[in-house]
Structure 1
């Protein structure tokens, strides 16, 4: 790699972003008579606003995105002995949430263009023990929801959308909450909307909403004063301060997504012109992409050189990261219920094996930069790849 000079260091918009709206919200929450949802109104208002923005009848705010997945699985009645099909290429929370419920995550291969769950691979893994199919909208690119909905109807196995990357995204004009299935979101510090931590579920009907409320509140119904614990659950409740921040973040989302769509078109073209660099593809039925990550592959790159490239990008001010390993290649996966060992699972997930070894990604804040900075980023990226 070439040495870093002052001219090589790029500057990108900071993340998280905040302003007067977040400050006002925090003070508004502070001045309430209480700072949890039973005593304030910020969580209730955020849930309504988030549900409306995504076209869902209901939302439940949670402590974080992993807990949102756990809550969704609980609402779906999934527990020990059940199987849930998950993408082999995803952040570990997708499979970890399944294992925390005592169920078995069954990794399925992903598509080489979008890096999302391959519906045919998922179909081949459905058994009488399969209780859910969990597509991940990787980097904000929708999984093939048409094929997955057909698979769900044919098998009777419901879909659970892991939409941690897909705030505001649309599939053929339909928002996440209009697709008829439970969807889980994350508001962790790097996400497209953030309160440092946090999560949410979108619920498609009254029944699932009421069950989710009970389970996220230790089994207690709204307004309970006599400790009526009507079901199993945990305390997944979001606090009022986080909700007040997220209400402000939601107001910025639409404009930020528009900018990211425009900037990714520019950056993708420039990166695709670099020999050996293959940007993540796009299914055009996903007509609004949220671009949580700018992902590329470098087929054939070694682990050492990939890490060296990421390190060199970071030295130049670029928020770069190596891609996720396949979930079954982590020690954490092996410590929970699993359908087979890593080598056996790898045989049926060749695409995830490749992407897990040659992918890297840039944080979405690069896509909020001006066009000149993105041109310079492409030049820096090309120079570093050429020096490998």
Structure 2
């Protein structure tokens, strides 16, 4: 590949984005009598607003998205000896949350078009030990929840949505909180709305909310003054400052997603014209895709060539990253409960193996750029791929 440009040739909107609303929220939290959820009102207000936007009856705010998954699995009763089916192609938090509870993550292959959990592959992995299936809504593309609902009904296995990428996404016009199962979100620094860190869990009914609330605060019920630890749990509570920032971020979310929806079509069409570049597909039942990432595959490439492409894109000012490796191709995966071995899992998950080696993703802030910048991005992308 030729030498990188001396100066970036493209600029994109900054991320995170903040304004007067975040500053006002932080001062509002600062001026309260208390800075934790039991002494202030920001977390309570954020939970109500986040649940309302997503059509859920309840929400519990957490310290981060991984903890939201752990909390949900705990509410489902997942523990040592249980199995949870997870996508092989996902950020490792999906499998780590299972392992942190002593359960075994069972990687299943993903769909070659959407990169979401392959339901037929999942069905083959259901055993009497399977407690839950955890679809990941990859890059905001909701997994096939119709087929997963049928699988859950037939097997009695629970569905837990890992919605870390899917803020305000919709499936058949229904919001994530209207789909009948728990959904866990992340507010880490790169996510579609952020307070640096943070998470939330949407709950479908009063009892699951009661259990989540207890478990996210060391088992203590609301208003407890006698240390009545009614169940197992941990301290997953969000603080008031994070909640205040997230309330402001929530106010921008839907408008930003509307821009991303429009810009993503332009960018995907332009990138698809580049030989060897295949953008992530879309299931039309996902009628609002939140576009956490703009993902493409470099068909037939090697990991080394992919790394060179990503380095060159970054040198041009494009926030580009390599895709996730399959979870079982990481060292951390093998330091918790597991079954099988890497080569066996690789044969079982051929699509995840391919995507894990040739996928590139662009940060969602590129989809907030103006159309002319996106045209220039496609030109740069084509030149970088041709030179690699």
Normalised to the residue count of structure 2, the TM-score between the two structures is: 0.99
Distance in structure 2 (CA, Å) of the matches to 1:150 and 1:250: 32
Distance in structure 1 (CA, Å) of the matches to 2:306 and 2:9: 20
User: How much does 1:18 deviate?
Assistant: 0.1
Alignment of 1:336-347 (within 5 A): 336-347=336-347
Query: 1:8, 1:380 within 8 Å by CA — same for their partners in 2?
Result: no
Partner of 2:16: 16
User: How much does 1:7 deviate?
Assistant: 7.5
Partner of 1:314: 314
Partner of 1:379: 379
User: How much does 1:114 deviate?
Assistant: 0.1
Gaps of 5+ in 1: none
Query: 2:216, 2:234 within 8 Å by CA — same for their partners in 1?
Result: yes
User: How much does 1:8 deviate?
Assistant: 5.6
User: How much does 1:94 deviate?
Assistant: 0.1
User: How much does 1:4 deviate?
Assistant: 3.7
Instruction: Describe the SS at the equivalent of 2:11.
Output: coil
Distance in structure 2 (CA, Å) of the matches to 1:21 and 1:362: 27
Distance in structure 2 (CA, Å) of the matches to 1:291 and 1:191: 10
Partner of 2:65: 65
Query: 2:7, 2:315 within 8 Å by CA — same for their partners in 1?
Result: no
Partner of 1:156: 156
Query: Is it true that 1:334 corresponds to 2:306 in the alignment?
Result: no
Partner of 2:49: 49
Instruction: Describe the SS at the equivalent of 1:289.
Output: coil
Alignment of 1:216-295 (within 5 A): 216-295=216-295
Instruction: Describe the SS at the equivalent of 2:60.
Output: strand
Instruction: Describe the SS at the equivalent of 1:269.
Output: helix
Partner of 1:360: 360
Distance in structure 1 (CA, Å) of the matches to 2:282 and 2:168: 16
Distance in structure 2 (CA, Å) of the matches to 1:334 and 1:224: 40
Larger CA deviation: 246-255 vs 5-14 = 5-14
Q: For each residue in 1:178-225, what CA deviation from the matched residue of structure 2 results, as whole angstroms up to 9, or x when unmatched?
A: 000000000000000000000000000000000000000000000000
Query: 1:55, 1:175 within 8 Å by CA — same for their partners in 2?
Result: yes
Gaps of 5+ in 2: none
Instruction: Describe the SS at the equivalent of 2:193.
Output: coil
Q: For each residue in 1:231-256, what CA deviation from the matched residue of structure 2 results, as whole angstroms up to 9, or x when unmatched?
A: 00000000000000000000000100
Instruction: Describe the SS at the equivalent of 1:107.
Output: strand
Distance in structure 2 (CA, Å) of the matches to 1:292 and 1:237: 25
Distance in structure 2 (CA, Å) of the matches to 1:176 and 1:387: 42
Q: For each residue in 1:299-344, what CA deviation from the matched residue of structure 2 results, as whole angstroms up to 9, or x when unmatched?
A: 2111111111101111111100000000000010011111111111
Q: For each residue in 1:81-103, what CA deviation from the matched residue of structure 2 results, as whole angstroms up to 9, or x when unmatched?
A: 00000000000000000000000
The size of the alignment, in residue pairs, is: 388
Instruction: Describe the SS at the equivalent of 2:79.
Output: coil
Distance in structure 2 (CA, Å) of the matches to 1:342 and 1:27: 50
Distance in structure 1 (CA, Å) of the matches to 2:103 and 2:8: 49
Query: 2:313, 2:319 within 8 Å by CA — same for their partners in 1?
Result: yes
Query: 1:115, 1:280 within 8 Å by CA — same for their partners in 2?
Result: yes
Query: Is it true that 1:302 corresponds to 2:298 in the alignment?
Result: no
Instruction: Describe the SS at the equivalent of 2:295.
Output: strand
Query: 1:186, 1:200 within 8 Å by CA — same for their partners in 2?
Result: yes
Query: 2:165, 2:290 within 8 Å by CA — same for their partners in 1?
Result: yes
Instruction: Describe the SS at the equivalent of 2:2.
Output: coil
Partner of 2:111: 111
User: How much does 1:5 deviate?
Assistant: 3.8
Larger CA deviation: 22-31 vs 8-17 = 8-17
Query: 1:85, 1:132 within 8 Å by CA — same for their partners in 2?
Result: yes
Instruction: Describe the SS at the equivalent of 2:158.
Output: coil
Partner of 2:167: 167
Query: 1:94, 1:162 within 8 Å by CA — same for their partners in 2?
Result: yes
Query: 1:2, 1:384 within 8 Å by CA — same for their partners in 2?
Result: no
Distance in structure 2 (CA, Å) of the matches to 1:339 and 1:130: 13
Partner of 1:138: 138
Instruction: Describe the SS at the equivalent of 1:159.
Output: strand
Distance in structure 2 (CA, Å) of the matches to 1:33 and 1:379: 54
Query: 2:214, 2:233 within 8 Å by CA — same for their partners in 1?
Result: yes
Distance in structure 2 (CA, Å) of the matches to 1:276 and 1:5: 23
Partner of 2:76: 76
Query: 1:104, 1:337 within 8 Å by CA — same for their partners in 2?
Result: yes
